[in-house]
Amino acid sequence: MTLFIQQLINGLALGGIYCLAAIGLTLVFGVLGFPNLAHGALFMVGGYVTYTLLVDVGLPYVVAIVCAALILAVIGVVFERLIFHPLRHAPHTHHMIATVGVMFFLISLVQEIWGTGFLRMESPFDGRMTVAGAQISTQRIIIVITAMVVLIALTLFLKRSVHGQSIEAIEQDRTGAALVGINANVVSMMTFAVSFALVAISAGLVAPIQLLSPGMGESLSLIVFAIIILGGLGSLPGAIIGGFFIAMAEVMASTYISVGAGQAAVFIVLMAVLAIKPTGIFGTVVQR
């Protein structure tokens, strides 16, 4: 029972990380209509930037994460302007190929700056807490709480603020949104900024419990794709539920079966969903 509670919290923490990363990906898909294959690489960049701000610059942990999120948001806007804006009339295959180029670039850039080895980032919250008899590291509690706070803030942003509402409007109906005078340029810059900031926060949160490496994005990438496909590309509730579902499946499968089973579970879910119902569990069905 103690083990179960411990793993439950672990699953929640991992789920929080996955949610934040997956929402970023699903937002870009919903608004711009293509999957950002470089999303995992940006996750990695977010992790390394947080590391540098924390270790080299010496900022407090929370400040470092916020700054990393801001930096990534700026990178997002720059990418949108330099790459995806010029491509906006090109076929989506070209967008995907461009994101592949970005991914290549970021991975080698990180290898060049921070080296190919593993980096460890100490958590400022390295204590442990006892919850219902289970020992839980404080960092995991912090992750769960932060993820919740960010999710609520994001929901408020999307539902209440003018900018957020225009993102949602474009996601749902592009032509209609254009008709009511929503500026698609501003919205796509905003979408990239929010998406990249979210992935930076998730990387900053996970860094203390995992090691940093240039390959960290690649494994996340596939998991996040599995999540948004499970939840339906472009669906926010889908990304949240999918995130926690995949995280729980992964944690429980590796605890009670084997580590390999955890990894395989993600693939099997991804390919099964794509094969059976490609639009995802929460995806809107385009009927033919």
Partner 1 sequence: MTTLLRPRLLGVLLIAIAFLVAPMLVSGQPYLLRIVTTAAIYAIAAYGLNIILGLTGQLSLAHGAFFGVGAYIVGLATTDHDWSFWTAFGVAILATTVLGYASGLIALRTQGAYFAIFTMALGFLIFIIIIRWESVTHAHSGVSGIKLPESIGPLDFSDPVVLYYLVILFLAGAAYMTHAILHSNAGRSLVAIRTSEDLAKSIGVNVGVSKQLAYTASAGFAGLAGGLFATLNGFIGADSASIDLTFQFLLFLLIGGMGTVMGPVVGSVLVAFLFELLQGLESYRFIVLGPIIVLLVIFAPRGIVGYLNDFLTSRRSRRASPPPSGGPDGRNGGADGRSGSGPDQGTAPDRPHATSAAAATSEGGL
Q: Which residues bind partner 1 (CB under 8 A)?
A: 29, 33-35, 37, 83, 86-94, 96-98, 100-109, 111-112, 222, 225-226, 229, 233, 260, 263, 267, 270-271, 274-275, 278
Which C-beta is closer to partner 1: that of 119 or that of 222? 222
Smallest distance from partner 1 to CB 101, Å: 3
Which C-beta is closer to partner 1: that of 34 or that of 51? 34
Smallest distance from partner 1 to CB 238, Å: 14
Which C-beta is closer to partner 1: that of 226 or that of 251? 226
Smallest distance from partner 1 to CB 228, Å: 9
Greatest C-alpha distance within the chain:
58
* Structure tokens, 8: 């439950």
Which C-beta is closer to partner 1: that of 112 or that of 173? 112
Which C-beta is closer to partner 1: that of 141 or that of 250? 250
Residue pair 208/62 in contact by the 8 Å Cβ criterion: no
DSSP 203-253: HHHHTTTS-B-TTHHHHHHHHHHHHHHHH-TT-HHHHHHHHHHHHHHHHHH
Which C-beta is closer to partner 1: that of 91 or that of 237? 91
* Structure tokens, 47: 């992790």
Smallest distance from partner 1 to CB 52, Å: 18
User: What distance in Å separates the CA atoms of residue 33 and residue 10, rounded to the nearest whole number?
Assistant: 33
DSSP 70-112: HHHHHHHHHHIIIIITTTTTS-HHHHHHHHHHHHHHHHHHHHH
Phi-psi label, residue 181: left if phi above 0, alpha if psi -120 to 50, beta otherwise: left
Smallest distance from partner 1 to CB 117, Å: 14
What is the per-residue burial (b if ≥16 Cβ within 10 Å, else e) of 73-82?
bebbbebbee
Smallest distance from partner 1 to CB 6, Å: 27
